[in-house]
Amino acid sequence: MIEYVDIPYIEGDGSGEDIWNASRGVFEEAVNKAYNGERAIRWIYLIAGQKALDKTGELLPEETLNTVKKYKIAIKGPLTTPVGGGFRSVNVYLRHVFDLYVSMRPVRYFHGLPSPLKMPEKVDFIIFRENTEDLYKGIEWEEGTEDALNFIGFLKDRMGIAISEDSGVGVKPISKSRTVKFTRWVIDYAIKNKRKAITVVHKGNIMKYTEGAFMKWAYDVARGYPEHIVFDKPDKGDDTKILFNDRIADNMFMQVILRPEDYDLLLCPNLNGDYLSDACAALIGGLGVAPGANIGDDVAIFEPTHGSAPKYAGKDVINPTSFMLSGAIMFRHMGLDRASRLIEDAIEKTIQDMIVTYDLARHLEGVRPVRCSIFGEEVAKRIGENNLH
Ligand code: NAP
C-alpha cells in the first residue's frame, strides 16, 4: 500500500511556474525511488501573490493561510509584491504571520559549478539569518514628511541629538528575547546535526546596542551549553564540541572568500544574513543554485533565495536548481532524508555531466545551455543512479 505525503505548494509568480514545472517530477521521483514506490507525494495547490490577487482580490487568501497552518509545511516559488498591495512584501508578511524566525540558507559547492574561487570545494556552510527583526521591521520615514520631522524633533528636544532636517530616518530594533530564541534554535540544530562551529556575524563595534547586543546575547545563550560548546579551538583530539566564536561583518565577507573551510554555521542578524547569502551564492554558481528555508516553531516554508525574475517568466530558461534544493531541505525537515540525498546527488551528477541552464553555461567554456524543463528531466533521470553518499 502506498503511503501518501501531503505537501501544499505555491508555484509563485514570474518564472515561478517554470521552476515548479521543472522540479515537480524530480521531487516525485526522489520520493518514489527513496522508498521503493511505497510513498508518494499528494500535492495541495495554493495561490498567493499576483495570481491570488487576480483571482480573489487578495494577495494572501485565507484558504492559503489556513492550509499552510494545517499542514505546517509548504514549498513556494518566488512571489512578486505588486506596488500598493497593502503590505511591503508577501514574503515578509508570510514570515511574520507564521513567525518563521529562522532563515536557513545552505551554501554548498557542487562539483562542476562555475566559481571565482580556486578551491570552491571548500565552500560548505549554512547561513542562519534572524528573519523577523532588524531593519526589516520597516520602521522608517521619508525625508521631509511630518513623521520624519517629528522624529527628528524628538531626537533633538528629548535626546539632545541633532541630525540634519533633510534626513530620511529608520529604526533598527533587535531584541534580547528574539535573539535568544533564534540562537537556541541554531545551537540545537548544530547539536542535532553534529556540526563543528557557530560564528556570530555582527557589526557590534559600530552598532553596539543592536548588533553588539545580538553578539553578547548569543554568547550568553551559548554559555548555557557547556557540555556541547567551547569558546576556544578544542584541544587536539577533542573535536567533539562545537566551537562558538564571532566575526565582525566586514571581515566575514573577506573570510568566506579566503578561508571558507574555517566556517560551518553562521549566526546573523537579518540584514547581515541577507547581504552575506547573496555574496556567498556567487561563490557557488549564483542565485540559481541558492536554496532557502523559513522555519518557525510550528510552520516551515521552503523557497529559493531568488525572486520571481519576471524578465524570464514563461521562457523556460531559468535555473530550477535552487527550487529543487529547497525541496531537498524540506524533505530532510520532514524526516525524508533519503529523498533529500537523492535530489542532491542527481543535481550534482547532472552538473558534472555539463548539463546546465544559461546562468551557469555563461561561465563555463564551450557549454551550451539547456532549457529549464530539460534540466529538470535530466535531473529526474539521474535520481537513484549510483548513490554518491
Ligand atoms: P530576482 O528575481 O532574484 O532576479 C535578479 C536576477 O538574478 C535575474 O535577473 C537573474 O540574473 C538572476 N536570477 C534570479 N533567479 C535566477 C534563477 N533561478 N536562475 C538563474 N538566474 C537567476 O530579483 P529582482 O528582479 O530584484 O526581483 C523580482 C521580484 O521578485 C520582485 O517583485 C521582488 O519583490 C521579488 N522577490 C521575491 C522573493 C521571494 O519570493 N522570496 C525574493 C526576492 C525578490 P540575470 O539577469 O543576470 O540572468
* CA separation for the pair 214, 176 (Å, rounded): 7
Return the higher-pLDDT residue of 58 and 39: 39
Q: Give the closest residue (by CA) to ligand 1 atom 43.
A: 307
Pocket test for ligand 1, best of 18, 284, 287, 351 (most atoms within 8 A of CB): 287
- What is the model's pLDDT at position 385? 82
308 touches ligand 1 (CB under 6 Å): yes
Tens of pLDDT, residue by residue over 69-94, are 999 999 999 988 765 545 568 888 89
Return the higher-pLDDT residue of 225 and 389: 225
Beta bridge pairs of residue 103? 129, 294
11 touches ligand 1 (CB under 6 Å): no
If you measure from the C-alpha of residue 288 to the centroid of ligand 1, how many angstroms do you get, rounded to a whole number? 9
Cα angle 371, 376, 382; round to 5: 125
Known catalytic membership, residue 274: yes
- How much of the chain, in percent, has pLDDT values that exceed 70? 96
Distance (Å) of CA 120 to CA 245, 257, 304: 23, 9, 21
- What is the model's pLDDT at position 240? 84
91 touches ligand 1 (CB under 6 Å): yes
288 touches ligand 1 (CB under 6 Å): yes
Tens of pLDDT, residue by residue over 196-233, are 999 999 999 999 999 999 999 999 999 999 999 999 77
If you measure from the C-alpha of residue 152 to the centroid of ligand 1, how many angstroms do you get, rounded to a whole number? 36
Q: Give the closest residue (by CA) to ligand 1 atom 36.
A: 307
Give the lowest-confidence range in 58-62, 255-259, 337-341: 58-62
- Shortest CA distance to 263 belongs to which of 85, 122, 56, 59? 122
Mean pLDDT (the chain) is 93
Say if residue 388's pLDDT is above 80.
Answer: no
If you measure from the C-alpha of residue 226 to the centroid of ligand 1, how many angstroms do you get, rounded to a whole number? 42
Tens of pLDDT, residue by residue over 311-329, are 999 999 999 999 999 999 9
Distance (Å) of CA 169 to CA 141, 148, 153, 163, 190: 5, 7, 12, 10, 37
- What is the model's pLDDT at position 86? 52
pLDDT band, very low/low/confident/very high, at 237 (cuts 50, 70, 90) = low
